[in-house]
Amino acid sequence: MPGWLRGLICIAVVLLLPACGFRPLYGTPGPDSSSVSAKLAAVSIPEQSTRAGQLIRNAMLSAISPAGTAAPAAYRFDMTPKSSEQNSVEARNTDVLRLSYRLNVGFDLVDISTGKSVYSGKTFSYVSYDRTGTPFANQQARVNAEERAAQDVALDLRTRLAAYFANH
């Protein structure tokens, strides 16, 4: 294919791309609506009573409203995290176990002005870690698993909220 034809095809694709409805998730829309980033910054997340909940909340706050971009709260994001652990691998002749940490989160986005739920759902993260004969290493491995699961869930929740705001 000649180079000029390739260039012509690229230009045609770039010019026709907006016609198909493509728009970047975090892009700034037209003058009649606000951007997804601004809507995310207007979400308040109440304090959580569990460690997993607080880890998710902290990760989400960092993701949805980076320093200096806070906005007046228009939405409240309620969540109910539940965690559990189970043995994945257990060997009789060794002290090493493989444990699985599962974090399930139900969530509800509430419009503060009306008090009504506008978006709800569930998400989860499943993280494995090794348990050895050393208590300190076991504690650190569990803490690390909790943190990784909370980070995974927070990123998923932020993406879901961004997708919701992009379409509403």
Closest C-alpha among 131, 130, 127, 128 to residue 152: 127
pTM higher than 0.85, yes or no?
no
What domain range includes position 40?
34-167
Residue 65 in domain: yes
Distance (Å, rounded) from C-alpha 134 to C-alpha 130? Answer: 11
Residues in the chain: 168
Residue 91: the pLDDT is: 65
Task: Give residues with Cβ within 8 angstroms of 155, minimum separation 6.
Answer: 59, 63
Which residues are 103's β-sheet partners? 83, 125
Residue 67 in domain: yes
CATH number at residue 77: 3.30.160.150
pLDDT along the chain (168 residues), means of 10: 71 63 51 70 93 95 75 91 83 72 96 95 94 88 95 96 91
Number of independent structural domains in the chain: 1
Which residues are 123's β-sheet partners? 105
